[in-house]
Structure 1
Amino acid sequence: MKPNSSTDSNPLVPAHDLAAELGSAPRPVLLDVRWELGGPPGRPAYEAGHIPGAVYVDLDTELAGAPGTAGRHPLPDLAVFGAAMRAAGVSAGSRVVVYDGGQGWAAARAWWLLRWAGHPDVRVLDGGLAAWRGELSTAVPQPVPGDFVPQPGGLPLLDADGAAAVARSGLLLDARAGERYRGEVEPIDPVAGHIPGAASAPTTENVTGDGRFLAPEALAARFKELGALDAPQVGVYCGSGVSGAHEVLALEVAGIRAALYAGSWSEWSRDPARPVATGPERG
């Protein structure tokens, strides 16, 4: 087994396979986590039409804590997150499928949180709702409450010091757009640039034009070129821990286990004592 390798089954499910699963018992628990950075709330879109049986989960209030020194989307309070998952019908033995509008970032955040919190069977609908060809429903289900209790540690997590250490001795990937990594623009956070030693690896390059992930072999080739196969540890960060989860998911598809720096650049850049690099090189 190569370093950082994952032995989990495929964390993605194609739309046609999900349709077949929804027609048999027991059905997977479906979570609709539609969300866009700076966009309108996802609940109205959910209420206008969702995959039958899906329960809406709000990223800003249930998959993240309040913005602050720990970043724009810090990890949620475990009691809040656990209550939201149980209310959605998630139990320890449930099969869970999460989806968003098609970008994949929010779905990956939900996948990562559940897996980090100890749930063993979570998949993402590849391509999101845009890939779904079945009917949509406006009925809001009332699931039987589940019994899932978060137990953190199922996936590796980095803090700021841990991210800096991985940048020095392993491979730390910056999942943001290249221009943000280089420090040419910074539309959201207080400082432009990247964590010294991090490599630019925009998460948008892990998917095709329709939002579906590249084949595992293509993802493995991409991450091999970035040095992931030889690194003793792989870490990922982004702006606030959302698109970074999407890159962690892409690495998982490629068979590479990676740690997420959840606070990401929105936490790092708030501390003036932390160094900042700019330009195309790792610094």
Structure 2
Amino acid sequence: MERRRRDEVLITAIELAALLAAGEPVTILDVRWQLAEPDGRQAYERGHIPGAVYVSLEDELSDHSITGHGRHPLPAGRAVEAVARRWGVRAGRPVVVYDDWNRAGSARAWWVLTAAGIPDVRVLDGGLAAWTGGIESGAVVPEPGDVTVAHSDLYSGALPTLTAEEAIAVETLLDARAPERFRGDVEPIDPVAGHIPGARNVPSTGLLADDGTFLTEVELADVLGGAANVGAYCGSGVTASVLVVALATLGVDAALYPGSWSEWSSDSARPVATGD
């Protein structure tokens, strides 16, 4: 796979504004999602980047009818194709995804669309807070798109994934959760506290500067290390996508463990580590 560059993964607010000012066709997707507020539609309708279409991480970037794959199972590729067309995604037109909370929602959208085989998807660096242009309220209903996905199964799509067995065996496994959850001090969501043995804690928020933009390439390389065979997980595969995006800006195709800790901890036979 050809090595990605940072500007192929991220787009700045200035660059997006320039595209819109020039009348360039671009599909903008608003992926508001937070652990405490998973439905971001009301926030979206109160104000969003002009032309942006709301995307539900819970309902459109996950398939909760699937069991055994954690709290946010990946959707099928054909389901992604159907919702992407509803969002107005068209062949040959770039897609920009953004959120308003630690790049979690936009990173998940980037991962799902890219894994499905949709090209030219970029994350708005800094999220909504970086946008200094106009804001519009209400909902946007676009003309239907015509995009076609290349992969019907995202677990074996255009981006690498890990099973539970592969996750514990990968050379470098990064855990994107907060340190207290990694150590097992607390576990507010899943039934077991701790982490996968051998994993290293790299909180996803630690990859962002104070303004919410991703750290520089040099800084990211320092935090993430130089291993090529890298896997990432979190609680349910959402914030781990932030690590995958960050590594992609360095040209590293990290593998996502989609089920993450919610899948791992559901099997009492799997080992659990605690502490640092």
What residue in structure 2 maps to residue 165 of structure 1?
169
Distance 2:196 2:236 in 1: 14
Distance 1:269 1:263 in 2: 10
CA contact (8 A) 1:112 1:245 kept: yes
Other structure's SS at 1:190 match: coil
What residue in structure 1 maps to residue 13 of structure 2?
15
* 162 and 40 in structure 1: CA distance in 2 versus 1, 3 angstrom threshold: closer
Match of 2:52 among 46, 51, 54: 54
What residue in structure 2 maps to residue 247 of structure 1?
243
Other structure's SS at 1:97 match: strand
What residue in structure 1 maps to residue 148 of structure 2?
149
Other structure's SS at 2:122 match: strand
Q: Give the AA of the match of 1:60.
A: E
1:76 positional shift: 1.4
1:149 positional shift: 2.5
* 117 and 8 in structure 1: CA distance in 2 versus 1, 3 angstrom threshold: farther
Q: Identity of aligned pairs, percent? A: 54
What residue in structure 2 maps to residue 83 of structure 1?
82
TM-score between both structures, scaled by the size of structure 1: 0.90
Distance 2:16 2:158 in 1: 24
CA contact (8 A) 1:176 1:201 kept: yes
* 101 and 203 in structure 1: CA distance in 2 versus 1, 3 angstrom threshold: same
Other structure's SS at 1:184 match: coil
1:21 positional shift: 0.7
* 6 and 114 in structure 1: CA distance in 2 versus 1, 3 angstrom threshold: same
Distance 2:179 2:193 in 1: 12
Q: Which runs of 5+ in 2 are unaligned?
A: 152-156
* 232 and 123 in structure 1: CA distance in 2 versus 1, 3 angstrom threshold: closer
CA contact (8 A) 2:29 2:96 kept: yes
What residue in structure 1 maps to residue 154 of structure 2?
none
What residue in structure 1 maps to residue 200 of structure 2?
199
Other structure's SS at 1:98 match: strand
> 103-112 or 153-162: which moved more?
153-162
1:175 positional shift: 0.6
Q: How many residues align?
A: 269
TM-score between both structures, scaled by the size of structure 2: 0.92
Q: Does 1:259 align with 2:255?
A: yes
* 165 and 128 in structure 1: CA distance in 2 versus 1, 3 angstrom threshold: same
> 17-26 or 6-15: which moved more?
6-15
* 57 and 85 in structure 1: CA distance in 2 versus 1, 3 angstrom threshold: same
1:139 positional shift: 4.6
CA RMSD of aligned residues (A): 1.7
Q: Does 1:119 align with 2:123?
A: no
CA contact (8 A) 2:4 2:249 kept: no
Other structure's SS at 1:158 match: coil
What residue in structure 2 maps to residue 216 of structure 1?
217
Distance 2:187 2:74 in 1: 23
Q: Which runs of 5+ in 1 are unaligned?
A: none
Distance 2:101 2:127 in 1: 4
Q: Give the AA of the match of 1:151.
A: A
Q: 1:214-257, CA deviations, whole angstroms, 9 ceiling, x for partnerless residues?
A: 01111012222xxxx2x351000000011000111111122322
1:134 positional shift: 0.6
Q: 1:117-153, CA deviations, whole angstroms, 9 ceiling, x for partnerless residues?
A: 1112010111111111011112533322222222232
Q: Give the AA of the match of 2:250.
A: A
Q: 1:59-90, CA deviations, whole angstroms, 9 ceiling, x for partnerless residues?
A: 00000111742111110133322211111111
